[in-house]
């Protein structure tokens, strides 16, 4: 692929000198306009097809170690606000967009995207042919890249190439330990609802321990909304630490990195819970993969992963098709599922696994994000299913 000698601009305005550069390991260089923080970062490059939610994407811990290319051109036009953060700070390493962000126009906006990124130490580049870049990712897989922003326009391309090629990649990387909470905490905030916004839960019913592999706040809000009294524990929590809270259910959160690497400490805990208790278990994203490995399945690295808010998934048991939000570069190999574990959901894009459950116990998980609501409420039933399982267990032991 030849170098991109000049960035694509949204209009026929005066040409700007490049102030940012994206270098791929195959020698391709994209020049554009930098915004956000200055400096350089190296990461894996992925693309996201969502038309909204750029702030939630940048603050989703599952994007640790990745620079995100946004295929939708209007990024930044609604600004940012504190309510839409999925975690305290952006986790994605950087962002690539087609058009430079415009002045935000939205009643909820509290800050413009460029200022927010600069304050949070994240680099971004605009004026890029994102369609061309996305095609390259689809055809050749997610590349390693170096992204630099220098207002002076000076870039050491050979050094950037060397840095990108030295990036170790996500295979074998345990990133959950970098984004998990440092200590346990309680969560009682519920989902946003008009006109009151976020409200606090006042009458929880079921005690749930949520393992934080990089949990999004909106997942915890969904658990609270369906009546769960949520205690969040770090990714390294042991089975003994989980059971010390006397939970009625165990939730396994989303998160970044290679599931096989995180599984070295997460899987033994899950296996012990499965062996010694009858707790209902619900997993999402990395939690889905952790559960799959604990049950005897294997995971694989995908070519370019699934990142977007328009992914159709079929529920194989009901025939229903859900429009889902996804963010993952690894997947469970459905051919490796052991006896007693069935595939429940499947991607209609490529046939990859999107859900499993045990046939004789209320233990289930999905690869997609039911809390993100792109459908908009296609998948919220999964949280309700988790609560139903806890109610049934309580009734059986009463």
Task: Round to whole Å and give the CA distance between 5 and 19.
Answer: 13
Cis peptide before 89 (omega within 30 of 0): no
Strand order in the sheet with 206-212: 185-187, 228-234, 206-212, 249-252, 281-284, 363-366, 353-358, 341-347, 299-315, 321-332
Cα separation of the two ends of the chain? 66
Which structure tokens are listed for 264?
A: 């070295």
d(CA 393, CA 398): 9
CB 65 within 8 A of CB 154: no
Whether cis (ω within 30° of 0) applies to the bond prior to 226 is no
Active site residue 240: no
User: 93, 122 in Cβ contact below 8 A?
Assistant: yes
* Residue 285 is a catalytic residue: yes
Cα 2 to the center of its chain, rounded Å: 32
Q: Which of 144, 304, 311, 369 is catalytic?
A: 369
Catalytic residue of the set 44, 285, 307, 328: 285
Distance CA 235, CA 252 (A): 9
Query: Which ranges constitute the DSSP H helices of the chain?
Result: 54-58, 113-120, 130-140, 157-166, 176-179, 217-225, 239-243, 259-276, 286-295, 381-397
Question: Does 369 participate in catalysis according to the annotation?
Answer: yes
The token pair at 232 is 């969040």
Rounded to whole angstroms, the Cα distance separating 201 from 193 reads 13
Query: Catalytic residue numbers?
Result: 285, 369, 371
């Amino acid at each position: 692929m030849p170098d991109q000698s000049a960035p694509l601009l949204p209009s026929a305005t005066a040409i700007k000198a490049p102030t940012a550069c994206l270098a791929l390991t195959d020698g391709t260089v994209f020049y554009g306009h930098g915004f956000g923080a200055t400096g350089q970062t190296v990461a894996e490059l992925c693309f996201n097809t969502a038309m909204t939610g750029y702030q939630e994407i940048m603050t989703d811990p599952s994007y640790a170690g990745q620079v995100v290319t946004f295929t939708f051109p209007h990024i930044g036009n609604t600004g940012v606000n504190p309510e839409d953060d999925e975690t305290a700070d952006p986790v994605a390493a950087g962002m690539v967009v087609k058009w430079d962000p415009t002045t935000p126009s939205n009643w909820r906006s509290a800050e413009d995207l460029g200022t927010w990124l600069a304050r949070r130490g994240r680099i971004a580049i605009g004026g890029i042919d994102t369609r061309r870049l996305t095609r390259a990712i689809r055809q050749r897989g997610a590349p390693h890249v170096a992204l630099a922003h220098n207002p002076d326009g000076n870039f050491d391309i050979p050094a950037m190439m060397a840095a990108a090629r030295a990036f170790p990649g996500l295979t074998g990387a345990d990133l959950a330990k970098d984004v998990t909470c440092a200590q346990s905490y309680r969560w009682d905030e519920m989902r946003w609802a008009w006109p009151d916004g976020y409200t606090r839960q006042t009458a929880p019913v079921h005690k749930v321990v949520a393992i934080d592999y990089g949990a999004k706040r909106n997942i915890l809000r969904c658990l609270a909304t369906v009546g769960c009294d949520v205690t969040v524990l770090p990714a390294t929590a042991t089975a003994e630490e989980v059971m010390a809270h006397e939970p009625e259910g165990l939730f396994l959160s989303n998160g970044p990195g290679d599931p096989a690497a995180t599984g070295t400490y997460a899987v033994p805990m899950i296996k012990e819970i499965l062996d010694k208790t009858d707790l209902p278990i619900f997993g999402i994203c990395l939690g889905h993969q952790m559960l799959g490995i604990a049950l005897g399945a294997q995971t694989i690295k995908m070519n370019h992963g699934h990142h977007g808010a328009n992914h159709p998934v079929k529920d194989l048991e009901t025939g229903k098709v859900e429009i889902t939000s996804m963010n993952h570069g690894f997947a469970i190999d459905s051919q490796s599922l052991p006896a007693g574990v069935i595939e429940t959901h499947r991607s209609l894009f490529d046939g990859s696994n999107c859900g499993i459950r045990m046939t004789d116990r209320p233990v289930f998980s999905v690869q997609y994000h039911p809390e993100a609501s792109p459908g908009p409420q296609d998948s919220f039933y999964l949280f309700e299913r988790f609560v139903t399982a806890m109610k049934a267990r309580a009734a059986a032991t009463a």
